Structure 1
Amino acid sequence: MSAAASDLSPPFIHDKPLAPFAADWRRSRGRLYPEPESPTRGAFQRDRDRLIHSTAFRRLAHKTQVFIPLEGDHFRTRLTHTIEVAQISRALARGLRLDEDLAEATALAHDLGHTCFGHAGEEVLDECMAAYGGFDHNAHALRIVTRLERRYAGWDGLNLCYETLEGLVKHNGPLRGPYVGRYASKEIPLEISEFDKVFPLDLELFASAEAQCAALADDIAYNAHDIDDGLRAGLFDLDDLREVAFLRALLDEVARIHPDLERVRVIHELVRRVITRFVEDAFAETARRLAALAPDSIEDIRRASAATAAFSAPMAAAQKEIKDFLFVRMYRHRKVLPVWKNAKTIVRGLFGKFFAAPDAMPEEWALTARPCDEAGRARVVSDYIAGMTDRYALAQAQKWLGTGLG
């Protein structure tokens, strides 16, 4: 066991240097377009700041997380979800002596490519783009930070570091090779494969431990806040959650420690326990894997035969049980499905409208689309619709289609 790995023990609070297997901005593989270093900020700090100040990041405030939050202002959006993921990512990175700025930057970037209307919008855009390479929110996020953000004088995109880009693309695992996960049954999206030719991202290798922590944080935040939002929306009740053994045990614990607690406080006590237990498990399992791997550098993390940051098998099973419950009781709830169907109709209608008549888009988009062939025009339309917030998409639907969510 390396000294670095054996040093990972509770309470995961330290004032020690970064672990030798952490990403080091001083040894970054650099940016696509070389630029001078900042005298006041590290490279990963600059990436984090560029993401926060991007247009795509601001749009997340008005993009749906799971369903259209028209009945209240307290449901999560893509922005609040991203902030929660970033907070958990930093906590995991700090406890494991990783670079917190890189973990946060990866978290801030991970949902930039999501469309209006949540996964409903993505499904329709993928269908509409089937003949032109499809649509994938992860690939679109890469497209945003490397092409669509037009702010800097010297380049398109945000010119992020290699380590941030590999985290955005590979935080859920390698995209090709023996350890491929998400893209095992389908082709790597064209945007990713084309960018990889220009700025190789080692798609067969794992991303940094920081990026892997961001992926875990995404799962933790998603499950916890969907339970909270589902209860708030009345899609299921506390007693329904007892179908999940992990949640039943937590509810029993809350009842034992705080008998006769009012419902709103029970919900909060449950949600905070969900987050805490998953975070603690992620620390323990990742420390165990680090001890077994004994990595001496970030390259050892990248070339490992399995993810280094992970949940234990029992907690992974609990996570799946929660996701299965939420899929049936929330994402496919009878109150959600009509909104889901109407949202898909809107996105499909807008794509057809703008593909047939590109000049109906704002002038900057129409100018881009006019000289394109059919595939190029389709991608411009897809980019335009994917960037829409929910309320802007609804306004466009009323203008061009004469319809709303209904």
Structure 2
Amino acid sequence: MKIRERIEEQEFKILSSYAAKSREAVRDHEEPLCDFRTAFQRDRDRVIHSKAFRRLKHKTQVYISPGDHYRMRMTHSLEVAQISRTIARGLRLNEDLTEAIALGHDVGHTPFGHAGEYALRDLIGRYHHNEQSLRVVEHLERNGQGLNLTAEVRDGILNHTGENKPFTLEGNIVCYGDRIAYLCHDYDDGIRAGMLKPVDLPAKVSKVLGSNPSSMITVMVSDIITESDGKNEIIMSGRVKDAMNEFRSFMFSRIYRSDALEPDRKKAMYVISKLFESYMSAPGNLPQEFLEREERWGLQTIVVDYIAGLTDLYAIKQFEKLFIPATWGIPK
């Protein structure tokens, strides 16, 4: 018996009846099975070895061009994976599927975080990072061939945010894991930036969740495991969910939409809009690999694909190249 087959057999013995099973995973394009890894383990590995995932280490979470100890998109994704796996293990659900979804959920994020996302949305009418994440793994990675991930992982990536729920419990775990992670680590970074103090938290939040990021994560994760155990749904108790929602409203008011960060948000959106205008009027400045896709996808789509894939610093570098005069004769 192959190692993969042994793992697949163990899943049926150990995991909950509600868990997604690797043996039942579906891909759009059939391929030879691995002797050692299950389908979901291979998906996890494909995401973590992708170029899009590597670029997340230089993409904004909240603070543009922050110091070394602030979160970026990659550290956010790793924290989502850790939180989500803890929940999956507590509920005897499929950790490998959960991890694959968590690691891949933000690979479609733009430079400059949500500011870049909103800029593209203003320019083309519709842009959502979860949809772009799906596009990245389906069509853009591997030089346009995509990663051929399982339907379970792709569904979890697409529906980690928005109105539609993932069809697996593992995908629903990531929806919660994503929110828990960004609220708690953005709160932590807000304290580091001097924008928040623990005493600023609403009374209900500090009473139910605590005021330390670690204790907040523990309370919410423990509540999900306790409330969801033995059920075919991922839920929170009303008390903890109400506190989490109030925590989220607080973070939007004090951090995500704060006046202090607005100047940088506007600058970031300006950079994205000018790059878009430039590449639309002069597509020859795009890399050849993107130009080769124009006939299939159209000019606007390949321009968006290119801009969305840029890191913060590279977007700024391209802006300088296109719009800032060269300093001729000045020694570096």
Same fold by TM-score greater than 0.5: yes
**Relative contact order, CA 8 A, sep 6+: which one is greater?**
1
Contact 1:224 / 1:274 at 8 angstroms: preserved in 2? yes
Shift of 1:238: 2.4
Q: Unaligned 5+ residue runs, structure 1?
A: 1-15, 173-180, 184-204, 252-266, 291-300, 302-307
Which residue of 1 is the match for residue 261 of structure 2? Answer: 336
1:60 aligns with 2:60: no
* 1:237 has 2:193 as partner: no
Secondary structure of the structure 2 residue equivalent to 1:150: helix
Which residue number in structure 2 is paired with residue 254 of structure 1? none
CA contact (8 A) 2:180 2:217 kept: yes
Q: Could you tell me which residue of structure 2 aligns to residue 45 of structure 1?
A: 41
Deviation at 1:362, TM superposition (A): 2.1
One-letter amino acid of the counterpart of residue 194, structure 2: G
Match of 2:86 among 88, 91, 100: 91
Q: What per-residue deviation string (whole Å, max 9, x for no partner) do you get for residues 317-375 of structure 1?
A: 11111111111111122321100011001101100000010011223223433x47xx8
1:348 paired with 2:258, answer no
Match of 1:323 among 248, 254, 274: 248
Residues 257-406 of structure 1: matches in 2 within 5 Å?
270-287=212-229, 290=231, 301=232, 308-369=233-294, 371=295, 376-402=298-324
Match of 1:167 in 2: 156
Give the structure 2 partner of residue 102 of structure 1.
Answer: 97
Q: Which residue does 1:7 correspond to in 2?
A: none
- Equivalent residues of 1:25, 1:44 under 8 A apart: yes
How far off its partner does 1:237 sit?
Answer: 1.8
CA distance in 2, matches of 1:385, 1:209: 33
In the other structure, the counterpart of 2:71 is: 76
Deviation of 1:386 after TM superposition, in Å, equals: 0.2
Offset, 1:234:
0.8
Is the partner of 1:37 in helix, strand or coil?
A: coil
Aligned to 2:180: 220
SS at the partner of 1:138?
A: helix
More helix by share: 2
What one-letter code is carried by the residue in structure 2 that aligns with 1:136?
H
Distance 1:24 1:398, change over 3 A: same
The residue type paired with residue 23 of structure 2 is R
* CA distance in structure 2 between the aligned counterparts of 1:249 and 1:42, rounded to whole angstroms: 39
Say if 2:46 and 2:147, in contact at 8 Å, map to a contact too.
yes
* Counterpart AA for 1:217: G
Aligned-pair CA distance for 1:287: 2.0
The 1:250–1:88 alpha-carbon spacing in structure 2 relative to 1, beyond 3 Å, is closer
- Alpha carbon RMSD of aligned pairs, Å? 1.9
Following the alignment from structure 2 to structure 1, what is the Cα–Cα distance between the partners of residues 68 and 105?
23
Q: How far apart are 1:54 and its partner, in Å?
A: 0.4
Structure 2 residue aligned with 1:141: 133
Cα deviation, 1:47-105, whole Å, max 9, x if unaligned, reads: 000000001000100000112033x1111000000000001111111111111000100
Cα distance in 2 between the residues matched to 1:122 and 1:338: 16
1:17 aligns with 2:11: no
Q: d(CA) in 2 for partners of 1:333 and 1:386?
A: 24
Contact 2:130–2:160 at 8 Å: present in 1 too? Answer: no
Give the whole-Å Cα distance in 2 for the aligned partners of 1:171 and 1:125: 20
Mapped partners of 1:233, 1:336: distance in 2 = 11
Q: Residues 244 and 322 of structure 1 are in contact (CA less than 8 Å); yes or no, is this contact kept in structure 2? A: no
TM-score normalised by structure 1 residue count: 0.73
Whether 1:124 and 2:119 are equivalent positions in the alignment is yes
State the alpha-carbon separation in 2 of the partners of residues 206 and 368 from structure 1.
30
Contact 2:84 2:98 in 1 (8 A): yes
Q: In the alignment, is the contact (CA less than 8 A) between 2:209 and 2:243 conserved in 1?
A: no
CA shift for structure 1 position 39: 0.3
C-alpha deviation, 1:248, in angstroms: 4.9
The alignment partner of 2:147 has SS state of: coil
* Per-residue deviation, residues 270-311 of structure 1 (Å, max 9, x unmatched): 1110000000111122127x1xxxxxxxxxx5xxxxxx1122
Question: Which consecutive unaligned segments of at least 5 residues does structure 2 have?
Answer: 1-12, 326-332
Q: Secondary structure at the match of 1:149?
A: helix
Structure 1 residue 249 displacement after superposition: 5.8
Residue 146 of structure 2 corresponds to 157
Contact 1:83 1:108 in 2 (8 A): yes
Equivalent runs, 1:177-192 vs 2, <5 Å:
182=163
Residue 213 of structure 2 aligns with an amino acid whose one-letter code is V
